[in-house]
A = this chain, B = another copy of it.
């Protein structure tokens, strides 16, 4: 571990900006940043969370020890070619892990041994570097999915960064990550989007929203996320998601049949099982203001 690590952040939005803010607060990091939007970089500099901005990607790789990609997954093919000479550790923050692995192996395979794909399981409805929050990752899990060939000192370096940000670091395989996240995040978002879309399609949209009780309010909050980001997540985690949709549809169909048959006993059993799962979930949550 170096005394002062030089970290380059590509993409200075909410996530990239919050990483910058948290690492500056930790006082052991020198923060470099590149964003296609020069006003985002200027704002990052004026907020004091970026030490040096890089108007082009060309100068960034040679200036830092670690590069963190915090841009949408669809930008990887345009970013990676600039990293051919990069000698440090590469990581990212994407919600699906297979795409970064595939992109690196195909575009810059020489980086595979220093690739540590990462996913901070945290989010916010807010956007942009102006909403950067040094505590965004505190108490949250960050999942790293290193490859078999990834060097252990590369993994340690990324662990150090996330620990500095107050996150709890765990490791799992790429495939396992993408399966688990399809269950806990991608399918719920897909259901929320679908429900809001279905309800908005009914005759008097205003009325549907006016009488929205707790149930729908929580759903629609989920559906407030960035459509393009979620489209990319759904498409890049397609296989796991499609399997899950099938499982969910079958379960919904079963519940529907229980209601149709007015099978109160079986219905109660099903609802009680779900409540028990939720109660268990609540019991294992860390004590943090965000839960």
Residues of A within 8 A of B (CB): 121-123, 141, 143, 180-181, 183-200, 202, 205-228, 230-231, 234-235, 238, 241-242, 245-249, 251-253, 255-256, 259-260, 262, 264, 267-268, 270-282, 284, 291
Closest 8 CB pairs of A and B: A188-B215, A200-B277, A227-B271, A185-B213, A196-B274, A209-B281, A197-B274, A218-B218
Across the interface, which residues of B come within 8 angstroms of A268, CB to CB? Answer: 227-228, 231
Across the interface, which residues of B come within 8 angstroms of A278, CB to CB? Answer: 196, 220-221, 223-224
**A196 vs B121: C-alpha distance when bound (angstroms):** 19
Q: Write the nearest CB–CB distance from A121 to chain B, whole angstroms.
A: 5
Across the interface, which residues of B come within 8 angstroms of A224, CB to CB? Answer: 275, 278-279, 282
**A275 vs B242: C-alpha distance when bound (angstroms):** 22
Closest to A266 in B: B231
Contact of A209 among B227, B255, B280 (CB under 8 A): B280
The answer to whether B215 touches A270 (Cβ under 8 A) is no
The answer to whether B284 touches A209 (Cβ under 8 A) is yes
Q: A193-B274, A259-B242, A275-B225 are in contact. Are A141 and B251 (CB under 8 A)?
A: no
The answer to whether B252 touches A216 (Cβ under 8 A) is no
Across the interface, which residues of B come within 8 angstroms of A276, CB to CB? Answer: 200
The answer to whether A215 touches B208 (Cβ under 8 A) is no
Q: A141-B210, A208-B180 are in contact. Are A245 and B235 (CB under 8 A)?
A: no
Across the interface, which residues of B come within 8 angstroms of A274, CB to CB? Answer: 192-194, 196-197, 200, 223, 227
Contact of A218 among B222, B226, B251 (CB under 8 A): B222
**A259 vs B193: C-alpha distance when bound (angstroms):** 14
The answer to whether B256 touches A198 (Cβ under 8 A) is no
The answer to whether A245 touches B241 (Cβ under 8 A) is no
Q: A180-B211, A279-B224 are in contact. Are A231 and B264 (CB under 8 A)?
A: yes
Q: Write the nearest CB–CB distance from A88 to chain B, whole angstroms.
A: 28
20 interchain pairs (CB within 8 A)? A141-B210, A141-B211, A181-B213, A184-B211, A184-B212, A184-B213, A185-B212, A186-B215, A188-B215, A196-B274, A197-B274, A205-B277, A209-B280, A209-B284, A215-B222, A224-B282, A227-B274, A238-B260, A245-B256, A248-B252
